[in-house]
Amino acid sequence: MNIEHHVYVKGHFPHYELMPDINVVKKYLSYNNENFNKVINLLKLYDKNTIFVHYRGTDFKNHENGMGDCRLKEDYYHQSFEISKSKFTDPRFVCLSDDPHFFEGFKSLYHIETISNPYEIDWLILHLCKNLISSNSSFCWTAALHNKDFLIQPFYGLNVNNKSFQIPYGFHINNSILVK
């Protein structure tokens, strides 16, 4: 009996040390070829100084687990943009969000572009891009697990209201830059 077809894990388990490596992911993850090709062609439009940015807005106003407002504050993105400016020559920020208006206030300070896609395309972009400013969502976290040359993450993970510990434990991805 082949057990891999009879066992599965269900739930939210964003713990970096427990995640499979990229080879296991590639073995079991298949991409929709049309979406994959669309994303590959889109990524070809950007150079090595492009940093993709994710913001979780609308549904994080009142988080489903009773944590209240879990949206990351503007300060997290300002700090992340400034760190990026110190590491890249004239960085271009491509922002993906369910609330793209959040980035309007940043456009006078940074080279910002917002793009809007179905969530399947957004996840593939976040997964395949090399440079990322991550939100505190598991959607972006899973996309950021592998193959990032440059990754910024929120220091406290999902815990934006109580700055004494990270939630969930194991949220930090190796070699990421943590911003408080």
CA distance 104 to 17: 36
Q: Could you give the count of Cα atoms lying within 13 Å of 149 in the half-sphere of its Cβ? A: 12
Closest by CA position to 137, among listed 71, 61, 73: 71
Apex 138 CA angle, 133 and 144, nearest 5: 45
Q: What is the pLDDT of residues 120-145, one digit of tens each?
A: 999 999 999 999 999 998 889 989 98
Q: What is the pLDDT of residues 144-174, one digit of tens each?
A: 988 899 999 999 887 776 677 676 777 888 8
Burial class of residue 92 (count of CB atoms within 10 Å of its CB; 0-12, 13-18, 19+) = middle
- pLDDT band at residue 8 under the 50/70/90 scheme: very low
Residue 175 confidence (pLDDT) = 93
CB atoms within 10 A of CB 89: 8
Tokens 């939100």 correspond to what residue? 135
Q: What is the pLDDT of residues 82-126, one digit of tens each?
A: 999 999 999 999 999 999 999 999 999 999 999 989 999 999 999
Q: What is the pLDDT of residues 13-67, one digit of tens each?
A: 566 556 666 676 667 767 778 888 999 999 999 999 999 999 988 878 776 666 6
